[in-house]
A and B are shown apart, each in its own frame.
Chain A
Amino acid sequence: MGFKFFIPKYFMYKKLMYICNSKLKMKMKNSQLYKGSLNTIIMKLLEENGKMYGYEITQKVKAITLGELHITEGALYPALHKLEAEGLLDVEVEKVDNRLRKYYKLTETGTKETVNRLAELEDFIRNMQSLVNPKLEF
């Protein structure tokens, strides 16, 4: 059984809260150490929720982390567009409430890549946890 099954969802996102680039509003100041994990957060959310639109992603992250992590538009949309260009995300445009809404969902490649990236991130969290606070057990 994989490592991720032992981590409660809330606790995992609390950990992810620290793993984001400088464009995210966050508590930790030395965010450069964790640059690049925003894509994994997005992919994880899409894996769980199927398809989501930009605003929904920001609100979901905010809700899961109890308002402690706020992904700004300046970080979110470039990340979504890059993932789409890489072929990891697909886009669906629908008319909702008098306006066009762009939904993002994982492609087949994206779904496989999410598993790899999550495993990588979990390894990273575990290693950092061992280094920083070896006494804490999951």
Chain B
Amino acid sequence: MKLSNQEILFIDQYLQKADVIFVDVRSELTDHIASAVEEKMEVEELSFYDAFKAYMVENKKMLLATSRLNFTNYKNGMIRFSKTFIKPQNIFFAIMLLFGFRYLNQLISLEMMSQVLFFMIFLFAFVQAIYTFFIIKKRYLYLENSSSVLLVIYYVNLFSNGFGLHAKNFIGNQFSIGITLFLLFAYVGYCVTTIRKFRIKYS
């Protein structure tokens, strides 16, 4: 027995009211619940609402627990990001940075570079927020769990280079700046890949 459009919409709205904010998580849960309800309706000969109620009484807590943005989801973002390090363009960029800093020092001071890094981190966070809230206008866990990576880069920069908004607070050196720049470069590559995959999957 297949559920109608209205019944699917009912499940979706139920989950929305239960604070399942991410569209991708919600659609997966909707499909899971709908499949279970369809089976229940067929086997136990129940109406949609009875089958839905019976299923949710038993499984609601467990289902909703999987829908929150928690440490496990952030960790998944980190794991996915860590796979980007072995890409040839990132390794090439890291080697270029290693040799390039000898000349880069003469063009721009490390203190100034640290300030630029802070600016870039905030800029990326801002661009991500704009993309989520003004371009796609929906929240996807697949995209948002990558924000943990930017947070880690922010802290790496903070602890290795100092608080970059004031040049006098600079505590880093060319290697710490290089590592942060490399991470940021890898992050941009990771974001582009993630958005591209996301568009293919959810187009």
A binding-site residues for B, Cβ under 8 Å: 53-56, 59, 72-74, 77-78, 81-82, 84-87, 91-93, 96-102
Contacts and interface: CB of A to CB of B under 8 A. Distances in A.
Interface string B109-149: 00000000000000000000000000000000000000000
A9 to B, nearest CB: 24
23 contacts: A54-B28, A54-B32, A56-B35, A72-B59, A74-B62, A74-B63, A74-B65, A78-B72, A82-B76, A85-B76, A85-B80, A86-B83, A91-B201, A93-B202, A97-B2, A97-B3, A98-B2, A98-B4, A99-B3, A99-B8, A100-B27, A100-B30, A101-B31
Contacts, number: 71
A100 B80 contact: no
Contact of B72 (A82, A86, A100): A82
B152 interface: no
A99 B59 contact: no
A85 B79 contact: yes
A77 B27 CA distance: 13
A93 B62 contact: no
Contacts of B34: 97, 99
A46 B134 CA distance: 38
Contacts of B16: none
A55 B32 contact: yes
Interface in B38-58: 39
Contacts of A54: 28, 31-32
Contact of A102 (B4, B28, B73, B79): B28
Kindly name the residue among B4, B66, B72 whose own CB sees the greatest number of chain A CB atoms within 10 A.
Answer: B66
A81 B73 contact: yes
B150 to A, nearest CB: 16
B164 interface: no
B195 interface: no
Contacts of B28: 54, 77, 100, 102
Contacts of B104: none
B18 interface: no
B31 A87 contact: no
Contacts of B35: 53, 55-56
Contacts of A92: 201
A24 B196 CA distance: 35
B79 A82 contact: yes
